[in-house]
């Protein structure tokens, strides 16, 4: 049993994210078990909080009454209640059917509903109130992602003593797209309640600054927004990363190595293993990838007795129509490719629609010859950096130019996933380049990920936050 945190206990570091690092699963007997939550935010922040004292305020993943607060490792988890209509209107609606598509280049059309916005304000207020309760005097509060953009200003009203930082794990859209959103000024004002705003890439920060300049009565100089009340807020790029040392250690573990060898064997010891690992999300370019692979098999450029493709597609946001449709399309295409090309007794494309333990993921990364990452838009893409950490000198990455990771991993085989012919050529090149070329590229990428790991990211963010002026100019 986990020790209970007394309700009045407060913390110097408070994380606020829509999800807790673990999801509650209530069994038929009413007993709760916990499993790791999906997505890159949790992967990164779990590593960051490892060994740090702090509270994490977030939703436990099920509608209804929130489970009691509890301690996990050194972290104090404070579940926030989301009722069924909050889940539908704030989480599925405003967050994932409006903000998510707008912030990802409107790959699917965004929907706008007034009820969703009301729910978004309601739930953001609840988060701000919970944070206000657990934050110690002068605490550092780190708010995460697009679901909680109003929290900084709401929290500042409740607790002017705390230092507030916000980090956006996803892209920030060009102002022409951002402008479509009803209540767009409210979002900017919500964010400007923070002392420091972190983005994945410089263009994301620039988009935010441009939106402020265009839509608010503020002055923007360099990367600083100057507000009428004398406060100023800096917005800059702090690209997120992975736990390089932890992954390296896992990948070097003999049991994991053994498992990687076993995976290769189970796949029939093919000459080439191609791997994709993504949440089943329309931003990830899964259909483009399958199209390219299917055509390469069709043309005979790839021989299914020599090459296998493993696609891990984590279930995600399954009640939303766009996600259900995507799943249908992907599964149809997987069936078609296997039906047309799989040899008897093996599969050209192994499709895994479920979650795996960390060690199994690392073994898969280690086993794969080429990682294929083809998002149409992605804030960073941690999977690409994880693959780098799991390989010594071998392996290769085909990487979409539309990911944040492409900025840093410039030695990957970069591609435009919309250009299917080029994508096919790039996959073949990544497969057939000589080992020396793979080594040079992987070494260069490894240096990047090693020096800019997730701890480096967190320290960078927190240093920026501490350096922020906090009080208006002239105040003490
Ligand atoms: P996103 O945050 O959009 O899901 P990222 O690539 O940044 O994309 O992060 C995904 C994270 O989830 C990575 O840490 C990856 O290893 C992990 N992951 C993805 N699929 C699975 C899966 N099926 N089982 C376990 N972990 C997964
Ligand atoms: C991305 C987002 C996270 C989100 C995750 C999983 O990584 O940036 O905020 O938690 O996807 O999505 P979900 O909707 O299941 O929380």
pLDDT digits (tens, 9 = 90+) for 273-293: 999 999 999 999 999 999 999
Would the ipTM clear 0.95, i.e. be above it?
yes
Ligand minimally distant from the alpha carbon of residue 387: 1
383 lines ligand 1 (CB under 6 A): yes
Q: Which residues line ligand 2 (CB under 6 A)?
A: 18-19, 38-41, 145, 169-170, 316-317
Q: Would you state the pLDDT for residue 73? A: 86
At 79-133, the pLDDT tens digits run 999 999 999 999 999 999 999 999 999 999 999 999 999 999 999 999 999 999 9
For ligand 2, atom 8: residue with the closest CA: 169
At 400-453, the pLDDT tens digits run 999 999 999 999 999 999 999 999 999 999 999 999 999 999 999 999 999 999
| Mutation probe of ligand 2 site: the residue of 16, 17, 19 with most atoms within 8 A of C-beta | 19
Let me know if 169 is a catalytic residue.
yes
Q: Which of 76, 104, 169, 341 is catalytic?
A: 169
Let me know if 394 is a catalytic residue.
no
Distance between CA atoms of 304 and 83, rounded to whole angstroms? 48
Whether the per-residue pLDDT at 170 is higher than 80: the answer is: yes
Whether the per-residue pLDDT at 359 is higher than 50: the answer is: yes
How far from 137 is each of 9, 140, 141, 351, CA to CA, in Å?
A: 12, 9, 11, 50
| Mutation probe of ligand 1 site: the residue of 21, 37, 40 with most atoms within 8 A of C-beta | 40
Q: How many whole angstroms from 329 Cα to the centroid of ligand 1?
A: 21
Q: How many whole angstroms from 132 Cα to the centroid of ligand 1?
A: 31
Q: Phi and psi dihedrals of 222, rounded to 5?
A: 60, -125
Q: Would you state the pLDDT for residue 2? A: 46
At 243-272, the pLDDT tens digits run 999 999 999 999 999 999 999 999 999 999
Q: Which of 195, 378, 453, 460 is catalytic?
A: 378
Task: Give mean pLDDT, residues 197-217.
Answer: 98
For ligand 2, atom 10: residue with the closest CA: 39
At 36-75, the pLDDT tens digits run 999 999 999 999 999 899 999 999 999 999 999 999 988 9
Q: How many whole angstroms from 169 Cα to the centroid of ligand 1?
A: 13
End-to-end CA distance of the chain: 46
Residue whose C-alpha is closest to residue 350's, from 341, 359, 362, 363: 341
Ligand minimally distant from the alpha carbon of residue 381: 1
Whether the per-residue pLDDT at 376 is higher than 50: the answer is: yes
Average pLDDT, the chain: 96
Q: To 5 degrees, how large is the angle CA 414–CA 378–CA 35?
A: 120
Whether the per-residue pLDDT at 7 is higher than 80: the answer is: no
For ligand 1, atom 9: residue with the closest CA: 40
């Amino acid at each position: 049993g986990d020790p209970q945190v007394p309700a009045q206990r407060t913390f110097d570091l408070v994380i606020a994210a829509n999800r807790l690092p673990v999801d509650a699963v209530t069994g038929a007997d009413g007993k709760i078990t916990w499993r790791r939550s999906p997505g890159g935010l949790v992967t990164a922040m779990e590593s960051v909080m490892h060994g740090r004292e702090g509270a994490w305020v977030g939703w436990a993943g099920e509608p209804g009454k929130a489970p009691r607060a509890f301690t996990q490792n050194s972290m104090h988890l404070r579940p926030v209640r989301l009722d069924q209509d909050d889940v539908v209107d704030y989480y599925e609606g405003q967050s994932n059917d409006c903000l998510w598509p707008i912030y990802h280049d409107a790959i699917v059309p965004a929907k706008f509903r007034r009820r969703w916005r009301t729910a978004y304000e309601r739930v953001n207020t609840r988060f701000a109130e919970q944070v206000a309760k657990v934050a110690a005097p002068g605490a550092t509060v780190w708010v995460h992602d697009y679901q909680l953009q109003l929290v900084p200003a709401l929290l500042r009203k409740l607790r002017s003593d705390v230092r507030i930082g916000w980090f956006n794990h996803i892209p920030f859209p060009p102002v022409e797209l951002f402008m479509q959103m009803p209540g767009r000024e409210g979002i900017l004002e919500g964010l400007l309640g923070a002392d420091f705003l972190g983005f994945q890439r410089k263009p994301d920060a620039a988009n935010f600054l441009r939106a402020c300049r265009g839509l608010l009565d503020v002055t923007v100089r360099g990367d600083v927004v100057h507000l009428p009340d004398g406060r100023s807020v800096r917005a800059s790029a702090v690209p997120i990363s992975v736990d390089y040392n932890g992954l390296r250690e896992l990948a070097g573990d003999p049991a994991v190595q053994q498992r990687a060898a076993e995976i290769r064997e189970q796949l029939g010891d093919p000459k080439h293993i191609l791997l994709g690992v993504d949440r089943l999300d329309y931003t990830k370019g899964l259909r483009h990838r399958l199209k390219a692979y299917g055509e390469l098999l069709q043309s005979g450029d790839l021989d299914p007795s020599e090459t296998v493709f493993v696609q891990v597609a984590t279930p995600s946001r399954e009640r939303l129509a766009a996600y259900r449709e995507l799943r249908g399309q992907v599964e149809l295409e997987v069936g078609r490719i296997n039906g047309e090309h799989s040899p008897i007794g093996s599969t050209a494309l192994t499709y895994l629609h479920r979650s795996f333990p960390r060690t199994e993921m690392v073994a898969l990364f280690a086993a794969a010859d080429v990682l294929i990452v083809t998002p149409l838009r992605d804030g960073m893409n941690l999977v690409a950096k994880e693959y780098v950490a799991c390989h010594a000198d071998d392996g290769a990455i085909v990487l979409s130019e539309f990911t944040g990771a492409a900025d840093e991993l410039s030695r990957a085989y970069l591609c435009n996933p919309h250009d299917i012919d080029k994508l096919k050529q790039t996959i073949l090149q990544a497969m057939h380049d000589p080992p020396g070329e793979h080594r040079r590229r992987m070494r260069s990428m490894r240096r990047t990920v090693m020096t800019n790991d997730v701890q480096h990211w967190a320290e960078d963010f927190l240093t920026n936050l501490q350096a922020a002026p906090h009080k208006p100019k002239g105040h003490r």
